[in-house]
Structure 1
Amino acid sequence: MSRITIPPVASATGATVEVYAQVRKIAGGSIPNMFAALGHLAPQSLKAVLNTEGALAAGSLSKQDLETIKLLVSELTGCDYCVAAHTMLGRMAGLAPDTLRQIRIGQVTGDAKRDALARFVRTLQQTSGTIGDDEVAAIRAAGYTDTQLADIALAVALTVFTNTFNRINDTDVDFPPVQ
């Protein structure tokens, strides 16, 4: 059970009502538990998340690249909520179940560009300090541009935020379970 008690979505007022309306447009009428909790507590933070998601959607990375990043960061962070969400969203973006599993456990997927992205994101998350020139050269050699590197950084940062919030809240997972 989530640690933060959230009143029913229908009882929302003020800025929370407005941001919930944005979520409903994006999520097909529903409000996932993470968005309900964040919108209740800090509607401006949820609005920032939604705006950032919009910037990423309009950015230089494919949906599959974004879901690769978000799933891997969530796995490495240990956020069960986001692992479930991004497994489902990854499938919706066209990633095969085996590919999603391989991303999570650090195995090659057979797609050299996706594998380079996963290696790069894993390195970002598991090391500290400036990334080595060899790591940047490898991701560029895989076909990623400097603009895409900026979008990778934004996707990682957003995912770390949502992972951290869910880990604090122990948000009830309302997505299909991950095997």
Structure 2
Amino acid sequence: MKTFNVPTRNEVSPANQAIFDNLTNKLGKVPNSYSFMASSENGLATYLALSNAKSSLNIKEKEVINLIVSGINGCHYCTSAHTAISKLNGITDEQVLEIRRGNISFDAKLDALAQFTKDVANNKGSVSPEALDNFFAAGYTNESLVDTLLIVAERTFSNYLNAIVNVPIDFPVAPQI
């Protein structure tokens, strides 16, 4: 199997070096997944533009999607990263585990989002009428639908890239469930 190296700042383009500097200032480091994306002249900037795009969904809703999709795709890197991010945004350890299991008892609206996201990720975009009806009944809109799918696409890309290149996890490793 091919081994991939995670590029350092000195091994990426000047444009990506500037992004590395910004990430280091904001996060204290450049996550390994982002570092590998910088193997492409435009990949990291394009990914970050999508990741940081405005959304109708709040941070907890985004993290539900991130954790569900990463779990379904088996990406332990993203599961670990988004477990840490979720905790920084007020989601407890117990709630993270519920989200990762895909059945949320602490918030009915988030549970409707989780069920919808599970259908999308498991069925490559096909969703059951029940999951779709529950999504809208919970208060989500057509805008929410589009924004949810954008996050699913973003997370799927990252999950697939990490599966192929197997970057080392540089976040606290999330427990297996």
Q: Which TM-score applies when normalising by structure 1?
A: 0.89
Tell me, yes or no, if structure 1 residue 42 matches structure 2 residue 49: no
**Local SS of the residue matching 2:29:** coil
1:5 aligns to what?
5
1:31 aligns to what?
30
1:83 aligned partner, one-letter code:
T
Tell me, yes or no, if structure 1 residue 152 matches structure 2 residue 148: yes
- Seen in structure 2, the aligned counterparts of structure 1 residues 92 and 70 have a Cα distance that, compared at 3 Å, is same
Asked if structure 2 preserves the Cα contact closer than 8 Å seen for 1:81 and 1:166, the reply is yes
Segments of structure 2 that go 5 or more residues without pairing to the other structure are none
2:17 aligns to what?
17
Asked if structure 1 preserves the Cα contact closer than 8 Å seen for 2:116 and 2:127, the reply is no
Q: How far apart are the structure 2 equivalents of 1:13 and 1:103? A: 38
1:59 aligns to what?
55
- Seen in structure 2, the aligned counterparts of structure 1 residues 95 and 147 have a Cα distance that, compared at 3 Å, is same
Aligned CA RMSD, in angstroms, stands at: 1.8
Identity %: 30
2:99 aligns to what?
103
1:65 aligned partner, one-letter code:
E
Asked if structure 2 preserves the Cα contact closer than 8 Å seen for 1:23 and 1:35, the reply is no
Tell me how far 1:110 sits from its aligned partner.
2.4
Equivalences, count: 174
Asked if structure 2 preserves the Cα contact closer than 8 Å seen for 1:113 and 1:143, the reply is yes
Structure richer in helix, relative to its length = 1
Tell me how far 1:118 sits from its aligned partner.
0.5
**Local SS of the residue matching 1:153:** helix
Asked if structure 1 preserves the Cα contact closer than 8 Å seen for 2:105 and 2:111, the reply is yes
Asked if structure 1 preserves the Cα contact closer than 8 Å seen for 2:34 and 2:44, the reply is yes
2:84 aligns to what?
88
Tell me, yes or no, if structure 1 residue 114 matches structure 2 residue 110: yes
Segments of structure 1 that go 5 or more residues without pairing to the other structure are none
Q: Which TM-score applies when normalising by structure 2?
A: 0.90
Q: How far apart are the structure 1 equivalents of 2:124 and 2:36? A: 31
